[in-house]
């Protein structure tokens, strides 16, 4: 699918702007603070109904303006869709082909974003990696979202109970919550193991491509449960129950569930070394790119369409070989939007075209300048 036309009004530093984008590759150049990320935010908003920067959507409305809107024309394999997102203070309206909707169907329209902060996927806390699994890759697998939701619900209630036990409530009811937590937890973890079976060879292959086979990328699941992967749902369940008994006292003391999938993590290894510790900035960036491409390919496998790819300040930071390898993978298949403050050299190929734009003080003009 691709974005053909975008119209934005009163959105951040844009008052009124229309762009007709290239179906393959779009470059937005400009100095700092001119509106490049704001534009990607608008595209993301029209694809997902949400911002990637803020949950306080009134911030997006231009200062001193009452409302903003984004109209976009998106073309898929089978149809043309007009999406209108309107933001008013404290209120949002989304229309698809003129019909008011409450939310998009899951996974549509597809967009994958890589912003500089995403390096936390490699460098940051386990929370960031779980977020990738839970929100970005997991939803491709049937039941994942549902089981995760149930697990989190039980977890919350169990933590509340731990607090009450600490305040002298008797602990007989803990057993019931343990069983529920372990039931959902075992299914969740077992799904994550399934996901890793798909993800491991996929990212290895993509990363090979991006690095001319110089780097072997490995992903390893780190569980807080003492299990040997692969493990069956029953094995995980039994181990989880046993583990909870071992940490019970500590859990009551801290009113927190200390083991389980909500505390798990994964590590990324380049040539057998932990990239979080030893990876260079460029290597870490390439790993994140690999993860994003894996999402794109998985998307295609599930939905039969490629999502739109947004690269904020990322593309021209890659060295030339990696850029070329990326284009070999996605060029001509995935509509891509990149931003840059400096270099913007890119030559169209047989299978894809390029449009270049200059962004200055909330105005965008098409340009041919290098
Ligand atoms: N609600 C708003 N109304 C008006 N202007 C806003 C609003 N929100 C943000 N801005 C302004 O938009 C400007 C451009 O922001 P943006 O993040 O798009 O810059 P950028 O071109 O991506 O810069 P950089 O290269 O530094 O990332 C900022 O200077 C900011 O002050
Ligand atoms: Mg920016």
Which class is domain 120-277? mainly alpha
Q: Tell me how far apart the alpha carbons of residues 91 and 67 are, in angstroms, rounded to a whole number.
A: 10
For residue 89, how far is its CA from the centre of ligand 1 (angstroms)? Answer: 19
Using CB distances shorter than 6 Å, the residues near ligand 1 are 12-13, 30, 32-38, 59, 61-63, 341
Which CATH entry fits the domain spanning 2-110+305-367: 3.40.50.300, 3.40.250.10, 3.30.70.890, 3.90.180.10? 3.40.50.300
Q: At residue 370, does pLDDT exceed 60?
A: no
Q: Whose CA is nearest to atom 7 of ligand 1?
A: 12
Q: At residue 19, does pLDDT exceed 70?
A: yes
Q: What are phi and psi of 302, to 5 degrees?
A: -85, -40
Query: For 86-92, what is the mean pLDDT?
Result: 94
Sequence-distant (≥ 6) Cβ neighbours of residue 267 within 8 angstroms:
219, 220, 222, 274, 275, 276
% pLDDT > 70, the chain: 98
In this prediction, residue 287 carries a pLDDT of 97
Q: Whose CA is nearest to atom 31 of ligand 1?
A: 33
Question: Confidence class of residue 310 from pLDDT cuts 50, 70 and 90?
Answer: very high
Reported as a single tens digit per residue, the pLDDT across 312-344 is 999 999 999 999 999 999 999 999 999 999 988
**Distance separating the N- and C-terminal Cα atoms of the chain:** 28
In this prediction, residue 301 carries a pLDDT of 92
For residue 32, how far is its CA from the centre of ligand 2 (angstroms)? Answer: 7
Residue in 38, 58, 360 to alter for ligand 1 test, most ligand atoms within 8 A of Cβ: 38
Q: Whose CA is nearest to atom 11 of ligand 1?
A: 13
Write down the mean pLDDT value for the chain. 94
For residue 85, how far is its CA from the centre of ligand 1 (angstroms)? Answer: 20
Reported as a single tens digit per residue, the pLDDT across 187-196 is 999 999 999 9
Kindly provide the b/e burial profile for residues 79-109, where b requires at least 16 CB atoms within 10 angstroms of the residue's own CB.
eeeebbbebeeeeeebebeeeeeeeeeeebb
In this prediction, residue 351 carries a pLDDT of 86
For residue 313, how far is its CA from the centre of ligand 2 (angstroms)? Answer: 7
Ligand nearest to the CA of 359: 1
For residue 36, how far is its CA from the centre of ligand 2 (angstroms)? Answer: 5
Query: For 341-352, what is the mean pLDDT?
Result: 87
In this prediction, residue 105 carries a pLDDT of 66
Residue in 35, 117, 337 to alter for ligand 1 test, most ligand atoms within 8 A of Cβ: 35
Low-confidence winner among 39-48, 98-107, 339-348 (lowest mean pLDDT): 98-107
Ligand nearest to the CA of 32: 1
Q: What are phi and psi of 18, to 5 degrees?
A: -125, 135
Question: What's the pTM?
Answer: 0.93
In this prediction, residue 108 carries a pLDDT of 66
Reported as a single tens digit per residue, the pLDDT across 114-165 is 999 999 999 999 999 999 999 888 988 889 999 999 999 999 999 999 999 9
In the chain, domain spans: 2-110+305-367, 120-277
In this prediction, residue 368 carries a pLDDT of 78
């Amino acid at each position: 699918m691709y974005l053909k036309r975008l119209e934005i009004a009163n959105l951040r530093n844009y008052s009124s702007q229309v762009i007709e984008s290239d179906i393959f590759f779009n470059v937005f150049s400009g100095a700092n603070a001119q509106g490049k990320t704001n534009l990607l935010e608008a595209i993301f908003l029209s694809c997902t109904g949400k911002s990637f920067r803020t949950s306080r959507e009134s911030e997006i409305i231009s200062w001193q303006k009452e409302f903003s809107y984004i109209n976009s024309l998106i073309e898929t394999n089978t149809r043309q869709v007009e999406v209108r997102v309107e933001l008013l203070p404290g209120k949002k309206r989304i229309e698809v082909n003129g019909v008011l909707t409450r939310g998009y169907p899951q996974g549509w329209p597809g967009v994958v974003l890589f912003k500089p902060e995403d390096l936390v996927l490699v460098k940051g806390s386990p929370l960031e990696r779980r977020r990738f699994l839970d929100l970005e890759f997991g939803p491709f697998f049937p039941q994942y979202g549902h089981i995760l939701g149930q697990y989190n619900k039980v977890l919350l209630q169990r933590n509340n109970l731990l607090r009450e036990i600490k305040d002298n409530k008797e602990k007989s009811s803990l057993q019931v919550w343990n069983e529920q937590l372990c039931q959902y937890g075992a299914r969740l973890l077992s799904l994550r193991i399934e996901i890793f079976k798909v993800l491991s060879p996929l990212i290895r292959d993509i990363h090979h491509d991006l690095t001319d086979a110089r780097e072997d990328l490995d992903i390893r699941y780190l569980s807080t449960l003492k299990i040997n992967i692969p493990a069956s749902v029953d094995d995980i369940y039994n181990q989880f129950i046993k583990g909870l008994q071992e940490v019970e006292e500590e859990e009551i003391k801290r009113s927190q569930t200390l083991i389980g999938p909500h505390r798990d993590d994964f590590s990324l290894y380049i040539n057998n070394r932990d990239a979080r510790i030893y990876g260079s900035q460029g290597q870490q960036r390439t790993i994140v790119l690999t993860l994003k491409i894996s999402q794109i390919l998985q998307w295609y496998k599930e939905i039969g369409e490629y999502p739109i790819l947004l690269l904020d300040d990322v593309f021209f930071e890659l060295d030339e070989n990696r850029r070329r390898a990326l284009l070999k993978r996605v060029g001509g298949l995935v509509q891509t939007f990149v931003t840059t403050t400096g270099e913007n050299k890119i030559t169209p190929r047989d299978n894809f075209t390029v449009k270049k734009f200059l962004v200055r003080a909330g105005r965008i003009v098409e340009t041919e300048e290098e």
